[in-house]
């Protein structure tokens, strides 16, 4: 069981403070860059500027689900609750970024494509990712035994991530005639000022991811600790009557 040493702990607090400052600074830089520094897109106009928030959120979302995938393998291999706490945190944050992508996308698509939504490969893949990882959180919520919950979550984290390339390929092949509209990948086709802001956007979202991860993992460990303390208290109260005690904790 993870026991917190001493007081509030200066180490994580300092890290969190540094990360927060970094996120705020990067966010201001990206906002400034997106609205004032980056060149105005010739055809799409100002609405294109949402790209600096939309695409980096998508990348951070993939990173988050990849971390959940790795944590799933880590948990099944070692059975250390820390992996589960991290995987859970990353899935939750990934889902948040996924939602940002899904909400900002239509605002851009409406004026540019003329529709709020189109069943194009990247969009559809993002939507399906959202469904899979919503399922991940639902299964967690409805599984009472914490140890079992961790195992189920790990399996979904692994299987769900394996599904991503297949989803992408199949939707793309299905909509074979749809033109690929945006030069998203890499930023190779971007004008220089645009590329700078795009990279700043990526840095912002990755820093935000790290910041939220530190917070959420800390919360997760606190939850585990609280559950452990509660179980110990219950066991202590009933020690004379039921020496075996109860194991399965409440969620």
Partner 1 sequence: MTAPADAPGREALARATGGTASRPWILREARAVLRICLKDLRIEWRSLDNLPAMFFFALLVMVIFSFGFDFAAFSFQELGPGMLWVAFCFAGVLAFGHSFALERQADGLAGMMLAPIDPGSLYLGKFLANLVTMLIVEALILPLCAVLFSARIDAVFWPLGLAILVHTIGFAAVGTLFGAMTARTRRGDVLLPIMMMAISIPLLISAVRTTAAVFSDQPALKQAAGAWLTMASIFDVIFMTAAYITFEYVIEE
Give contact residues for partner 1 (rule: CB under 8 A).
Answer: 76, 128, 131-132, 134-135, 138-139, 142-144, 148, 151-152, 154-156, 158-160, 162-163, 166-167, 169-171, 173-174, 176
How far apart are CB 142 and partner 1 at their closest, in Å? 4
If the CB atoms of residues 63 and 150 are measured against partner 1, the closer one turns out to be: 150
Measure CA 223 to chain center: 19
If the CB atoms of residues 51 and 136 are measured against partner 1, the closer one turns out to be: 136
If the CB atoms of residues 40 and 79 are measured against partner 1, the closer one turns out to be: 79
DSSP 33: I
The candidate with the shortest Cα–Cα distance to 84, out of 98, 67, 99, 101, is 67
How far apart are CB 174 and partner 1 at their closest, in Å? 5
How far apart are CB 139 and partner 1 at their closest, in Å? 6
At 136, list the tokens. 């991940």
Q: Which residues pair with 41 in a beta bridge?
A: 45
27 φ/ψ angles, rounded to the nearest 5 degrees: -65, -40
Task: Measure the CA–CA gap between 143 and 160, rounded to whole angstroms.
Answer: 18
Give yes or no for a contact between 36 and 200, defined as CB atoms under 8 angstroms apart: no
How far apart are CB 157 and partner 1 at their closest, in Å? 10
How far apart are CB 197 and partner 1 at their closest, in Å? 34
If the CB atoms of residues 131 and 219 are measured against partner 1, the closer one turns out to be: 131
Task: Measure the CA–CA gap between 94 and 206, rounded to whole angstroms.
Answer: 11
- Residue 231 host element (H or E): helix 192-237
If the CB atoms of residues 26 and 129 are measured against partner 1, the closer one turns out to be: 129
If the CB atoms of residues 61 and 214 are measured against partner 1, the closer one turns out to be: 61
DSSP 45: B
At 142, list the tokens. 């409805």
Q: 32-45 burial by CB neighbour count: b if 16+ within 10 A, else e?
A: ebbeeebeebeeee
If the CB atoms of residues 41 and 147 are measured against partner 1, the closer one turns out to be: 147
Give yes or no for a contact between 135 and 163, defined as CB atoms under 8 angstroms apart: no
How far apart are CB 29 and partner 1 at their closest, in Å? 37
Task: Measure the CA–CA gap between 220 and 91, rounded to whole angstroms.
Answer: 13
How far apart are CB 87 and partner 1 at their closest, in Å? 14
């Amino acid at each position: 069981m993870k026991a917190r040493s001493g007081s509030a702990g200066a180490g994580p607090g300092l890290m969190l403070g540094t990360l927060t400052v970094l996120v705020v600074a990067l966010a201001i830089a990206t906002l400034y860059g997106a609205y004032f520094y980056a060149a105005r897109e010739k055809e799409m106009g100002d609405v294109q500027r949402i790209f600096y928030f939309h695409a980096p959120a998508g990348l951070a979302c993939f990173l988050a689900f990849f971390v959940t995938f790795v944590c799933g393998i880590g948990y099944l291999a070692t059975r250390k609750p820390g992996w589960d706490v991290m995987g859970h945190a990353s899935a939750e944050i990934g889902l948040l970024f996924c939602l940002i992508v899904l909400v900002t996308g239509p605002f851009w698509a409406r004026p540019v494509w003329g529709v709020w939504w189109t069943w194009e490969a990247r969009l559809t893949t993002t939507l399906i990712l959202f469904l899979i990882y919503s399922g991940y959180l639902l299964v967690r919520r409805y599984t009472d035994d914490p140890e079992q919950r961790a195992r189920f979550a790990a399996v979904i984290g692994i299987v769900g991530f394996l599904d991503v390339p297949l989803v992408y390929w199949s939707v793309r092949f299905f909509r074979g005639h749809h033109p690929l509209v945006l030069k998203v990948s890499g930023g190779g086709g971007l004008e220089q000022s645009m590329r700078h802001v795009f990279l700043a956007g990526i840095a912002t979202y990755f820093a935000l991811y790290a910041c939220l991860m530190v917070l959420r993992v800390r919360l997760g460990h606190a939850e585990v600790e609280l559950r452990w303390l509660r179980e110990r208290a219950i066991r202590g109260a009933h020690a004379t009557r039921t020496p075996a005690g109860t194991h399965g904790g409440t969620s």
